[in-house]
Amino acid sequence: MKKKLVYLTVFAFSLPLFCAMTRPASADVQMYRLYNPNSGEHFYTASQSERDHVLFSGWKYEGIGWQAPESGSPVYRLYNPNAGDHFYTMSSFERDQLVLKGWNYEGISWYSGGEIPLYRSYNPNAQAGAHNYTTSQNEANMLAGAGWSSEGISWYGVKQGQGLNSNGEPHKDILGYHILTQQDPAWAYKTFGSSTVGSSGCGLLSVIMAADALQGRNLTPNDVIDWANSTAAFPFEDRGESTIPIAQHLGLKTQVLFDNPGHGQGTSGQIEQINQILRSGGMVLISGKSVPAYAPYGDGQLSPFTTSGHYVVIKKLTADGKWMIFDSNDAIHPLDAGLNNNLSFNPTDIMRDQGYYAIGLTR
């Protein structure tokens, strides 16, 4: 490990965190990962109560980073009471030196073991959140390209955390369908065209969720991303046509229902076209824009759409004529991987923001 870590200083951070974490993680405990968009710090904990505390204090929940073993080499956690920053290390030397510098030792947070490496990166220019730990080699490489220093493998986990919710199980909606979010660290930083899955993967994840639901599969972006990149199937800044080869690659039949050249042009006839697909057991992929992003509808619900454009899948027609959707963006409701996935929307509201292609997806 680099000795410069011993002399790390960061500015004070206003959000207090729990400052006692002496009980080790139990067998294959899920390690929660959270992010502070103001300071740039990532925080890792096995405690659900600690997770919820920082979440409701304004942090963003990024899912399960990895699963730790019940025993192995200890990973120590330290806290800087002046800066509000945490540091994690397997090195007793680093631990002891930081204690001498005024950091609080908070005990063994979890254990290292298994075959899944956690990569450590250091930002020499950061005033807070100077370290990042991830199972994603792509994320580590992206940080290195942005000027971070790679500090090698910090510890090991027994399993990846991809597709897991706060209970360590695959995200599911109230219909029992798997939910995938762009922000899941298992794929958020993977290259997708000229961007990343986290920034521009809504079309990709929307189609995958529809395929999972319609075909009873359990796919993730990791199963499709290499093929999509190799065939230039990037559903980004087009009219929706680039999602069609992804759907067909996954074995779905596609049908372009209509193409709205602008937004807010939906008609009752178009709503009925979508309803016919839903009644026949299919789903419909649409895109839309909202200005401002997530603008409230008349009933107080928030639009699922962003200002730059976003894909969702209409997955069910409810008994009262509303639509349920797949929404891969968990920016609004991070704790449960997107509350939008369990809500019902008025079709006229969705069509207010809808634009470009509506694509029917069937088995």
Same domain, 78 and 225: no
In single-letter form, the type of residue at position 212 comes to: D
Specify whether the CB–CB gap between 19 and 105 falls below 8 A. no
Whether residue 168 is contained in a domain is answered as no
Beta-strand relationship, 42-45 and 116-122:
unpaired
Residue 261: other Cβ atoms inside 10 A: 8
Count of the separate structural domains present in the chain: 2
pLDDT band at 330 (very low <50, low <70, confident <90, very high): low
Task: Give the domain extent around 130.
Answer: 3-160
Backbone angles phi, psi at 164, to 5 degrees: -105, 145
Same domain, 335 and 261: yes
| 55-95 per-position pLDDT tens digit | 778 887 777 789 899 999 999 999 988 877 899 999 999 99
CATH number of residue 291's parent domain: 3.90.70.10
> In angstroms, rounded to a whole number, what is the distance separating the alpha carbons of residues 352 and 288?
9
pLDDT at 219 over 50: yes
Strongest mean pLDDT among 124-133, 240-249, 278-287? 278-287
Which tokens in the block code for residue 291?
A: 């200005």
Specify whether the CB–CB gap between 66 and 156 falls below 8 A. no
Same domain, 240 and 329: yes
Looking at residue 4, its pLDDT comes to 34
| Three-state secondary-structure class, residue 313 | strand
Whether residue 59 is contained in a domain is answered as yes
Q: What is the DSSP string of 180-232?
A: --TT-TTTTTSEETTEEHHHH-HHHHHHHHHHHHHHT----GGGTHHHHHHTT
> In angstroms, rounded to a whole number, what is the distance separating the alpha carbons of residues 68 and 108?
12
